[in-house]
Amino acid sequence: MNSFLLAIIFYFIGSYYLGWNNVLRQNLVVAIFLNMVVLIEKRKVWLYYLAAFLCIGIHLSSLLLFLIYPMVRVIEKFYKNNNIKSLLILYISFVAIGLFIDLFSYIYNNELFLLMLLDTDYAAYAWNEKLMTAKSGSALGLGYLLKIVNRTLIIVYSTRLLLYYKNTFVKYVFWLCYIGFCLHALFTTSIVLQRPNLYFISFELMIVPFFWYYLLNKKTVYNKLNLLMFCFSFASYFMMFMTEIINGKETTAEFHFFF
């Protein structure tokens, strides 16, 4: 099974197909950005910025893309070795902060934040408290725990993944996805604050298939353990997917036909 087929499978059981049928304009830019990482890898800076500039015509949030290119270059300059321990400590710290500190309330009550929101596509949220404080369902249940475990596994295996694929593209994908993991942990229940994070967390569409492909194809003395990790990861995402479908009314995954 190749990584492309695994990516298609994860696009569905990772429930991305549902979200991408909703936030169409921004996710169109996200899809373009997932392909723009090749331009970062090949250092085609002017072509990257041209693509980012054109994306502004689709969704204003693509202004964030202008910051991501130099951010990746800074990470590459100062982060030479993949320190799993540091990455794990930082991620777990973000998870703990997200669980025990209500950062969203502080941000929501900040006048500067609301003023900044007025000049964006999210102005409707600023005037509608129900939308502004909307939460993403049962985000802190078993599904959230399974996501944390899967993301922790990816971090633990990150050094082996980077050594296995041996190219900068996968390295950039991991870095950007790791940022997405941390930001999602901070604001996991806030729909509003997760919108900018789509540009980072969506790299899960790449890193999870890379991870699965590694587990299925890397021949080591840990073959049985790798197979067990794959089965757990696949089963947990599939279970989250089925839960979302079964609870369609609550998760907005339910389809209604008018014929």
Residue range 126-178, pLDDT digits in tens: 545 544 444 554 456 888 899 999 999 999 999 999 999 988 999 999 999 99
Q: Give the confidence band of 198 by pLDDT, cuts at 50, 70, 90.
A: very high
For tokens 């985000």, what's the residue? 139
What's the whole-number average pLDDT of the chain? 84
Could you tell me where the DSSP H helices lie in 14-62?
16-19, 24-41, 45-55
Burial class (CB in 10 A: 0-12, 13-18, 19+), 61: buried
185 or 256, greater pLDDT: 185
For tokens 């067990």, what's the residue? 228
Q: Single out the residue of 20, 11, 68 nearest to residue 253, CA to CA.
A: 20
CA distance linking residue 246 with residue 254, whole number of Å: 9
Q: What pLDDT sits at residue 132?
A: 47
CA distance linking residue 92 with residue 182, whole number of Å: 9
CA distance linking residue 96 with residue 47, whole number of Å: 39
- Evaluate if residue 259 carries a pLDDT over 50: yes
141 DSSP 8-state letter: S
Across 15-29, 62-76, 190-204, the highest mean pLDDT is recorded for 62-76
- Evaluate if residue 109 carries a pLDDT over 80: no
Q: What pLDDT sits at residue 137?
A: 46
**Cβ partners under 8 Å of residue 212, min gap 6:** 3, 6, 10, 230, 233, 234
For tokens 């996200």, what's the residue? 30
pTM score, two decimals? 0.86
Q: Single out the residue of 205, 188, 226 nearest to residue 13, CA to CA.
A: 205
Could you tell me where the DSSP H helices lie in 101-190?
103-108, 111-118, 123-127, 129-132, 142-156, 158-165, 168-186
In the predicted model, what is the mean pLDDT of residues 81-93?
91
